Amino acid sequence: MPEGDTIHRAADRLRTALSGQPLRRVELARVAPPLPRPGAVVEAVEARGKHLLIHADDLVVHTHQRMTGSWHLYAPGQRWQKSSRAARVVLGVPGAVAVCFSSPVVEVLDARGLARHPDLRRLGPDLCDPRADLDLATHRLFALSTPDRPIGEALLDQRIACGVGNVYRCDVLFLHGLDPRTPVGDLEPAQGHALLGHAAALLRENLDAQRRTTVSGAPPGTLWVHGRAGAPCRRCATPVVVDRLGEQARHIYWCPTCQPPVRRAERDEPA
């Protein structure tokens, strides 16, 4: 699943190319009408968490890329980087063709469908947005999690806050010295707030970056633990470990020294 900053960057590029332009070409594979009509003007392109919404003709083209999808932008006549068979959405305007490849979610919504959409309606505050309500996200972290839910899993729950993907959840937990398996019920509200605030800061710092970076001052692309299984921790040189966590069984990386496991037995002892 891409991070929210990837979708925001895609939305920025698509907005620049499409917004205010009349549609010349509208092709959506396996999507029933109504579709935006050729000639309709693209009114807006927005990212909500990891959802991308293109508004035209009182309709919204909604895509969610999950693990496989991507939006590409081409000049008319330019050779596509992927097979046209994988194209799920093709939107052409004068001077540009936007193509969405392999997205598992492609649909067209009207205003009512948009307002009632089960995934879009439930999204938590978008951490890429500087106005994101961190208090609300913190409230949702505790309200929508059972006490034994691992924090590493909760951070990916887009109902709590949207935008955080695998890279930021791993690295923000490292920065806070928290084992990803730590139960949400063991965290203080202030810790939850700090984690979400830090994830938001990392997402926003990377909005304009070519390569995602979480280690400040380091070369572009430098991450603390994500994707570094077996490599020495940048703080203590302990090899970074990887495991699968949560319902989606996504790989999660952490440093067992800097992020020590919660010692439940010790914690449960009476004071």
Q: State yes or no: residue 258 binds Zn ion (CB under 5 A).
A: yes
Side-chain-side CA neighbours of 235 within 13 Å: the count stands at 15
| Closer residue to Zn ion in complex, CB, 201/236 | 236
CB of 238 to Zn ion, least distance (A): 5
CB of 199 to Zn ion, least distance (A): 20
Please list every residue from 216 through 245 that binds Zn ion, using CB under 5 A.
Answer: 233, 235-236, 238
CB of 241 to Zn ion, least distance (A): 10
| Closer residue to Zn ion in complex, CB, 127/195 | 195
Phi/psi class of residue 60: alpha, beta or left (left: φ > 0; alpha: ψ in -120 to 50)? beta
| Closer residue to Zn ion in complex, CB, 168/253 | 253
Q: How far is CA 69 from CA 50, 99, 131, 257, in A?
A: 11, 10, 28, 36
Tokens standing for 43? Answer: 């009114």
Q: Are 124 and 137 in contact (CB under 8 A)?
A: yes
Please list every residue from 110 through 149 that binds Zn ion, using CB under 5 A.
Answer: none
Q: State yes or no: residue 257 binds Zn ion (CB under 5 A).
A: yes
- Number of Cβ atoms within 10 Å of the Cβ of 2: 18
Q: What is the largest CA-CA distance in the chain?
A: 72
Hey, which residues are catalytic here? Answer: 2-3, 50
Q: State yes or no: residue 1 binds Zn ion (CB under 5 A).
A: no
Q: State yes or no: residue 89 binds Zn ion (CB under 5 A).
A: no
| Closer residue to Zn ion in complex, CB, 189/232 | 232
- Number of Cβ atoms within 10 Å of the Cβ of 8: 25
Cα dihedral across residues 152, 158, 161, 162: positive or negative: positive
Site mask, Zn ion, residues 178-217, x = CB under 5 A? ----------------------------------------
Positions that interact with Zn ion (CB under 5 A): 233, 235-236, 238, 255, 257-258
